[in-house]
């Protein structure tokens, strides 16, 4: 994990521009400013498990965390900053963040059930969120949303992807993507970009609209516990391999033919138990925490993630301490 130092908020005068602090402000505002909650993916389940590398992992990366067996601490989550969001809400993302630990090193990877982010820059991200801050009646101004979307059509790519697919029926039966392009250096010293995709070892699980109506608002943790007990909560961690000309700076677009291009299985994660929420609430999964062999993506959104998460954690701790 990265440094335990938590950076406090910048001066208030900086919050009107696109900074990590103003992004946290906007995320919280969109969710109605719930206290002591994560700014994003506020609702979740903490778990632990194991990672077993494949024989091919060294072809992609020399990272000790991906080429050797590792302990896993992870968190499945439902998107948005509302910790009471219903698991049947199709409009929000599902997330899977995991940490591989072993040999004195660790690596954090953050994935979600969409292959793109909703903004390619902090400025665009702030504009997207500000357009969706609810009015007094609890709903965003549709004209603001419409105007921003018309001027920034790529910010709808994520929502359109999610809307076109059925509701995820299980944390353990969902495909997850890392939206960034990671430089990976293999055992031979060769470096190329990869994207992470995490796929269920069993089949994908989805629900029809009618099936979703029969589910309780918090059905995902119950389903996950059942699958863990049955030994059916495992994932293959895949590396999608780049081609010349792939976009690596714009996280609102996919690589061409991404679903059919060459991929190598790095290893398999098996989820073995649910952990107390405190095990994950005391930390944050730090996207900048990457063992040698996987380097930081070059895009602007990734560069801001660590500071944004640290600010969110600091605020959460202050609000928890205040009661």
pLDDT in tens, 240-292: 999 999 999 999 999 999 999 999 999 999 999 999 999 998 888 999 999 99
In a domain, 115, yes or no: yes
For residue 256, with 0-12 CB atoms within 10 Å meaning exposed, 13-18 middle and 19 or more buried, which class applies? exposed
Answer whether 78's CB lies under 8 Å from 87's CB. Answer: yes
Does some domain include residue 124?
A: yes
Residue 126 maps to a domain: yes
How far is residue 196 CA from its own chain's centroid?
A: 11
In a domain, 3, yes or no: no
What range does the domain containing 296 cover?
12-318
- Residues 131-179: tens digit of each pLDDT: 999 999 999 999 999 999 999 999 999 999 999 999 999 999 999 999 9
Residue 303 lies in a domain: yes
CA–CA gap between residue 15 and residue 77 (Å, rounded) = 28
Is residue 323 situated within a structural domain?
no
Residue 5 maps to a domain: no
CATH number at residue 72: 2.40.180.10
Alpha-carbon torsion 282, 231, 269, 79, what sign? negative
Is 6 part of a structural domain of the chain?
no
3-58 pLDDT, tens per residue? Answer: 333 444 444 333 468 999 999 999 999 999 999 999 999 999 999 999 999 999 99
Phi, psi of 3 (to 5 degrees): -55, 145
Domain count, the chain: 1
The pTM for the full model equals: 0.94
Query: What is residue 282's predicted lDDT score, i.e. its pLDDT?
Result: 81
Q: How many helices (H) and strands (E) does the chain have?
A: 10, 11
């Amino acid at each position: 994990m990265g440094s335990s130092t938590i950076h406090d908020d910048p001066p208030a005068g900086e919050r009107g521009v696109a900074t990590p602090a103003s992004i946290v402000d906007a995320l919280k505002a969109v969710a109605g400013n719930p206290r002591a909650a994560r700014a994003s993916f506020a609702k979740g389940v903490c778990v632990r498990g194991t990672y077993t590398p494949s024989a091919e992992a060294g072809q992609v990366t020399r990272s000790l965390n991906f080429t050797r067996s590792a302990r896993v601490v992870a968190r499945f989550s439902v998107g948005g900053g509302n910790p009471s969001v219903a698991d049947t809400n199709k409009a929000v993302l599902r997330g899977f963040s995991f940490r591989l630990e072993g040999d004195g090193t660790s690596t954090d990877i953050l994935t979600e059930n969409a292959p793109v982010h909703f903004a390619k820059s902090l400025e665009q991200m702030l504009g997207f969120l500000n357009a969706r801050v609810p009015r007094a009646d609890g709903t965003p101004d549709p004209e603001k949303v419409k105007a921003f979307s018309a001027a920034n059509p790529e910010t709808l790519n994520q929502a359109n992807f999610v809307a076109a697919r059925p509701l995820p029926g299980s944390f353990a039966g969902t495909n997850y993507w890392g939206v960034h392009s990671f430089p990976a250096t293999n055992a031979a010293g060769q470096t190329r970009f990869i994207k992470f995709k995490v796929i269920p070892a069993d089949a994908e699980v989805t629900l029809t609209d009618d099936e979703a109506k029969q589910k309780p608002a918090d059905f995902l943790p119950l389903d996950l516990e059942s699958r863990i007990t049955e030994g059916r909560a495992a994932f293959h961690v895949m590396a999608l391999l780049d081609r010349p000309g792939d976009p690596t700076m714009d996280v609102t677009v996919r690589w061409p033919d991404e679903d059919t291009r060459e991929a190598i299985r790095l290893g398999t994660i098996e989820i073995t138990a649910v952990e107390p929420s405190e095990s994950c609430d005391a930390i944050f999964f730090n996207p900048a925490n990457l063992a040698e062999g996987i380097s930081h993506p070059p895009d602007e959104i990734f560069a801001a993630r660590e500071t944004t998460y640290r600010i969110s954690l600091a605020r959460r701790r202050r609000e928890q301490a205040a009661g």
